[in-house]
Chains A and B, each alone.
Chain A
């Protein structure tokens, strides 16, 4: 395994942290290196501290680690915030001429590189480019060819004219030369490049791309962290494919618009996070009883209430499974990796239309904002299939009319799936309602029909459960006696933790579960294991509780709910400790 390199840029919100980080991440991915990014929004101290972290290697990287090799510190707080991850030999690039950085002390054992970022940027054409000067300096430290930064700069500034691109290239070179001339120390890093060809994207973007690939035509949403990126991505792009994005006045409106579009026959989606899911829950029941296909994406953040909006958590599982009054079937898909966000989105649309029900598609904050590199064929558009389910047209509608001639959108069928007629279909006119209804969608309180309709809706779940596809992803040592089960974005950290545990002679079998409902039966795997641990980012162990109920056994749990995602090395330690001592929640 090639050594990986961990890099970060940090400063105040408004310092251009995001774009600086993104340029570097893109330069790396375009150089055939794997990249895994993470973002720190406001943390320990209140205020505008923000950081963009990049972990890179020629091997696949799937998580964050407790290590920082090079840090561009635009404020003293950046150093303070990252002290624990900095180590002997870490390089800190800073601008000693900046008033706030003049008295900054470089912790012992670390290498401070004082570069007059602002001055060099001004010489290259404008102070605003000081972050790019810093990037140039970082390239020198990491022995990363500065030419490889050029195409990322072109991508970033190309729209604004060649002059700006050239100035930025010059700024980067000024940073590099300054370090080369003033510091003749040998740094221990050497970022090799490869011929591999990667794309770099985050979970929200993968969801948006999956939606377009799947033929989504209508999206309505209301901005909320960390789901907004889905809407930002779709805005303008969906229109290129004959669709439309509406920023609604609130989440109640967003889900109702999407419902309307779906009844019109479009593939429709909305995305939100915790508080928005609460608001959508009223209409969720209507979507389900009216048997309208709808994809509702919940990008989870830390709750309850407004909680910690920029922090990680997987706390909404119970809500998605049980939320709403009364009882209605719904599916819950939870992709476990960024690339799976794409494929599960495609699948969510197919499942929604095939089974005519709402599908929750859930990602968590860590996955939503994390960018990762993938080979472009991971998103093979030729493999995308669109299954619109049971739709009648002018010719076939006749087979589903009642004796009096009315269309039967809730026809009682063996598999629970009824015909759909889009508006415009001749003789297909019908009403849908949140009230209990008969086969034609007309209100009823008839006891028999009530039972028949409830059973019909639930039969769809039974029909769906027969699908083989509801299986978990398995990795690690399949014969190991220790079993770890997880869901959501923990998979990457877990995969890397396994390697670390292996070094200690601990073998683990892992099941990562992207289908929460319907879900695979894990009883056999749990029974075969000596010890089972469920890893998740919440306090009460919502997924562990499900597993226990399914298998009628007790499992161990590792729960993290401090707002920070699992790190590979941390998780390895936790698993080891749990295997030694049994359950212990971390916080």
Chain B
């Protein structure tokens, strides 16, 4: 790890094809800055991306990376971290990717408490497939596939996380660059699963959950005298559906990441030639 790593070192030479003004630009910049600021460099970082406009992030960042299949990024991140506790793992995807097709994995990644940072670019819509309702879309949000709105309440990802035993829950807004970066940084530094839902507006298909909407409605928990280590306070914030928050909502100071709980500390890529020294014991067990 070199101290002279700059956030631009995490930029790939591919120009993003996101729509001009897409919230994902800001989300990505904050992630790169947070990685650089926490002392990581592209060679010791692994970014796993989902599928969606959001998932394209893996292409635009420079690091070891995998752009996987829709909804399965978290298990990939888990595998990388278990094999390589020495590597910084960041997983990114959209609200559809994470809370719809990947919802099952979300719950289990949270409860495993694998030491990685999970960034969900929540635009409350499916961007890449051109504007269908997502799990976080409002109940009356009209789209081509939901002409009268989904008529179901949106998923509350933070409640899902809290109920699943999360050790770090946060929310940020991609256009509030500094706060967004700070929050991602805290998630990276957290020992365990650092979950950040990022409001990352889709300027093309969502004219309800816009920059203006979030800017006007956001309440910053840092200014609200909120104590993230207070579980009940976190619960109140999460269940208050009348407000939009940013900041660290919950942090379990006692969090022990999965690999530590399971005594995994070795780099598993180092495999010597031939069977392990005491492998004949394995045969003897069948005697």
Contact = CB atoms under 8 A, between A and B. Distances in A.
A212 B67 CA distance: 29
Given A286-B69, A386-B273, A212 B82 contact: no
Given A260-B75, A261-B80, A30 B287 contact: yes
Interface stretch (B31-39, B43-51, B200-208, B219-227): B43-51
A261 B282 contact: no
A433 B64 CA distance: 11
Max chain B CB contacts within 10 Å: which of A212, A265, A268? A265
Contact of B86 (A249, A253, A382, A424): A424
Interface string A557-578: 0000000000000000000000
A260 B78 contact: yes
Contacts of B48: 260
A442 B279 contact: no
A587 to B, nearest CB: 36
Contacts of A429: 42-43, 45, 62-65
Contacts of B271: 215, 217, 266-267, 386, 388
Interface in B246-287: 259, 262-264, 266-269, 271-276, 279-280, 282-284, 286-287
B43 A249 contact: no
**Size category of the binding interface on chain A:** 35 or more
A549 interface: no
B268 A218 contact: yes
A304 interface: no
Contacts of B78: 246, 253, 257, 260
A242 interface: yes
Interface in A192-230: 197, 199-201, 205, 209, 212-215, 217-218, 220
B57 to A, nearest CB: 10
A258 B13 CA distance: 29
Contacts of B128: none
Contacts of A385: 273-274
Given A264-B46, A427-B43, A212 B282 contact: yes
Interface residues of B, number: 58
B20 interface: no
Contacts of B42: 429
Contact of A250 (B104, B272, B273, B283): B104
A282 B69 contact: yes
Contacts of B287: 30, 197, 199-200, 376
Given A199-B286, A435-B67, A260 B83 contact: yes
B160 interface: no
B5 interface: no
A468 B128 CA distance: 48
B94 interface: no
Contacts of B87: 264, 423-424
Contact of A431 (B44, B58, B272): B58
A381 B83 contact: no
A582 to B, nearest CB: 44
A199 B82 CA distance: 33
Interface of B: 12-14, 42-46, 48, 58-59, 62-69, 72, 74-84, 86-87, 104-105, 107-108, 259, 262-264, 266-269, 271-276, 279-280, 282-284, 286-287
Q: 8 closest A-B pairs (Cβ-Cβ)? A: A260-B79, A265-B269, A264-B83, A256-B75, A266-B268, A266-B83, A433-B67, A257-B79
5 contacts: A241-B276, A253-B74, A253-B108, A376-B284, A429-B65
Given A213-B282, A253-B72, A429-B43, 12 more contacts: A213-B275, A241-B276, A244-B82, A248-B108, A249-B107, A253-B105, A256-B68, A264-B82, A384-B274, A406-B13, A429-B63, A430-B65
